[in-house]
Amino acid sequence: MRQLWLALMFLVACSQGESKGGLGVMLKCWRVPGRLRQVEAGQGKVYGIGLDNVPKRLVGRCWSPLDGHMKHISVGPAGVWATDLKRNLYTLQEDTWKQVPGTLEQVDAGGSGFLTGVKECHLAFCADIVPGAATLSWTLIPGKLGYYSCGPEACWGVGEAGEVYVRTGAQRGDCVGKTATTDSRARMAKVEVGSDGSVFALSTTGVPYERVGISSSAPQGTGWVRLRGVEPIHSLSYDRYTLWLLNYHGELRRCIKVPVQK
């Protein structure tokens, strides 16, 4: 009974997403212990940056600290990467951070065989990962981007004014990809791509959205669905049907999407 009571205590309010069809999107969420600055999920694993800037990995319901003090962390097909408080770049190898020459404000490991990231002055770069190589050869991505995230089909970025860009065809050997399309109506602060190609975003006021209509013929999707009923969100990540939401108080929730009849 005590376990059931605790589970009910962690269950939080559901959110209803807007939709033009007859189905809406409901989120069922559970509170996860601990407080974080950033959450990142990928490859079946969940990492975070604590309020003390210590990187952590979620093991069951407990956070296992890693060495160092980091600013941003990413996990995906390219591995586990992070930047420290001085923007130095690291990759995690057997639970030990190995520094790699270069600096980034934000790093993303969602590409298969390549790494992307954003430096100061809204400059985005990508680099192929060559096994055994001690350095990365960076290529400038056209445009001014403050945030960049890649998945299996496309890379998504946020421009200086919050406009959203999409680049298809990015792969190892051509990490820049094809010409980007733009959603100038959107005003987002962050866009995150899941390992299955799902795309979620946060507005400049912390409202979470999901991109709908994504397919192989339309990798840019058709529109945004607002996830209602949740408090302003500071960081989010999606992996294996689970959406992780972190509010401005550092409280983390694990959510699953449930379609409901409107």
User: Does the structure show a pLDDT above 90 at 7?
Assistant: no
Query: Are 149 and 108 in contact, with CB atoms under 8 Å apart?
Result: yes
Query: Are 81 and 40 in contact, with CB atoms under 8 Å apart?
Result: no
User: Does the structure show a pLDDT above 70 at 15?
Assistant: no
Q: Which domains does the chain have, with CATH numbers?
A: 2-261 (2.130.10.30)
Quick: pLDDT tens for 178-226.
Answer: 977 878 788 999 999 998 999 999 999 999 999 999 988 888 899 999 8
Q: Which of 82, 114, 119, 116 minimizes the C-alpha distance to 103?
A: 119
Q: What are phi and psi of 3, to 5 degrees?
A: -65, -40
How much is the pLDDT for 261? 62
Quick: pLDDT tens for 62-83.
Answer: 999 999 999 999 999 999 999 9
β-pair partners for 17 = 227
How much is the pLDDT for 186? 81
Residue 18: which residues within 8 A CB-CB, separation 6 or more? 24, 225, 226, 228
**Residue 87 DSSP code:** -
User: Does the structure show a pLDDT above 90 at 116?
Assistant: yes
Spatial separation of the C-alpha atoms in residues 140 and 144, rounded to whole Å: 10
Query: Are 139 and 175 in contact, with CB atoms under 8 Å apart?
Result: yes
**Chain-wide mean pLDDT for the chain?**
88
| Helices and strands, number each (H, E), in the chain | 1, 24
Spatial separation of the C-alpha atoms in residues 110 and 77, rounded to whole Å: 6
